Amino acid sequence: MTVTKPDLPPLEEYVEYLKKIWKSRWLTNNGELLQLFERKLREFLKVENLLCVVNGTLALHCAIKALELEGEVITTPFTFPATTNVIIWEGLTPVFADIDRQTFNIDPEDVERKITERTCAIIAVHTFGNPCYVEELEEIAEKYNLKIIYDAAHAFGVEYKGRSVLNYGDVSTLSFHATKVFHTIEGGAIVAKDNNLFEKLKLLINHGIKSEEEFVIPGTNAKMNEFQAAMGLCNLKYFDERVRRRKIIVEYYKENLNNLDVEFQKVIASKHNYIYMPVLFKNSKIRNKVYEELSRSGIKSRKYFYPLTTDLACFKNLDLVKKFGLKVAPEISGRILCLPLYSDLTLEDVDRV
């Protein structure tokens, strides 16, 4: 049993789109399927300015480039390495704030404590699809004139107080990787609040090309192709039903684990996508023992997120946990385990876990 499995549409539905691609011989460069996919996503996600890209990591790169950030970026260490790696690759300095003990998201109070004259932005992660404390973060950003990028890799379809989480901040980025609750095999998207920023992002993801003879800014190649768009079109129509099934599985897990000495993430979303099944054990010793026992039984779980990104090899011997006074993030990272969760996981499988 794996920790996750990609959802796939009926093969014949995908093949129908492939036939269109074969007939048009238009494989990439803003093809007909991509344009259709982007229109459907804007409507489904309730956003105005959305661009599809080849993956979620390049979405973050392009967001930073478009905002022309320089200096320090306050971020969370409790995340996938991509969030931190992008900050480093773009020549910025990551400053790590601690996380909230209940939501596992970046702690706004610690964010404000970490602001210096070099701070230019906050990159916050909607951890496991759970919205950050967006109101507090936006208040801080306005007070100190900072930009906010939300890494919404986990947050496809998530809403906070009835509003898409993608409508907060200056930019939100999505991942459509095969492991996500919605995927295009590989892929991602960028959502921008400002129209001018959106136009700039359009240029950035396609080498800065304005026309055949105009290359107006240094860009990159982050374009989504027609095959990815086709998979997205197929998967989008099944998303709500898959989330409905995931919710049943998550609730069944919680009901059956409730009598044990474990804790669950506090979810503040008004509409959640049930992307992961994180469980907090009493300590790392118990977590590791459960992980090993599950492995011996042929059940793959994941210590997610462990280790913290402060422990990446590039930070070796810097002891960033101590430097930034991180208390909660190391504790949560040491106790957390994500259990198997995918839309066709049976309740009998959950009983086995």
CB-based contact 165:146 (threshold 8 Å) = no
Confidence of residue 137 (pLDDT cuts 50, 70, 90): very high
In the chain, list all ranges with CATH 3.90.1150.10: 239-352
pLDDT reading at 144 higher than 90 = yes
Catalytic-role residue among 65, 114, 147, 180: 180
Residue 84 banded pLDDT, cuts 50, 70, 90: very high
The per-residue pLDDT for 213 is: 87
For 216, phi and psi rounded to 5 degrees?
-90, -25
Architecture of the domain spanning 11-97+105-236: 3-Layer(aba) Sandwich (3.40)
* pLDDT per residue as tens digits for the range 338-347: 999 999 999 9
What mean pLDDT is predicted for residues 34-39? Answer: 98
pLDDT, mean of residues 38-51: 98
CATH 3.40.640.10 residue ranges in the chain?
Answer: 11-97+105-236
Cα separation of 77 and 166, whole Å? 21
* Contact by Cβ (8 Å): 222, 54: yes
Active-site residue flag, 180: yes
The DSSP call for residue 83 is H
Residues 253-279 pLDDT 10s: 999 999 899 999 999 999 999 999 999
Distance of CA 275 to the CA centre of its chain: 10
Give tens-digit pLDDT for 211-220. 888 999 999 9
- The answer to whether 219 touches 203, Cβ cutoff 8 Å, is yes
Of the two residues 316 and 239, the one the predictor is more confident about is 239
Under the banding of pLDDT at 50, 70 and 90, the label for residue 163 is very high
- Residue 202 carries which DSSP code? H
pLDDT averaged over every residue in the chain: 97
If we measure between CA atoms, which residue out of 22, 7, 55 comes closest to residue 235? 7
* pLDDT given for residue 18 in this prediction: 98
Kind plus residue range of the DSSP H or E element containing 120: strand 119-125
> Packing angle between helix 226-236 and helix 32-45, nearest 10 degrees?
40
With contact defined as beta carbons under 8 Å apart, do 160 and 175 qualify? no
In contact, 149 and 125? CB cutoff 8 Å? no
CATH of domain 239-352: 3.90.1150.10
As given in the structure block, the two tokens for residue 212 are 């055949």
User: Does pLDDT of 66 surpass 90?
Assistant: yes
Query: Contact, 40 vs 233, CB < 8 A?
Result: yes
Reference 86, options 171, 20, 167, 206; nearest CA is 171
Q: Is 57 helix (H, G, I), strand (E, B) or coil?
A: helix
pLDDT score of 154 more than 90: yes
Q: Do strands 336-338 and 278-280 pair parallel, antiparallel, or not at all (unpaired)?
A: antiparallel
* Banded pLDDT at 179 (limits 50, 70, 90): very high
Q: Is 329 strand, coil or helix? A: helix
Mean local confidence (pLDDT), 273-290: 98
Q: Is 153 helix (H, G, I), strand (E, B) or coil?
A: coil
Q: 321 and 307 in contact (C-beta within 8 Å)? A: no
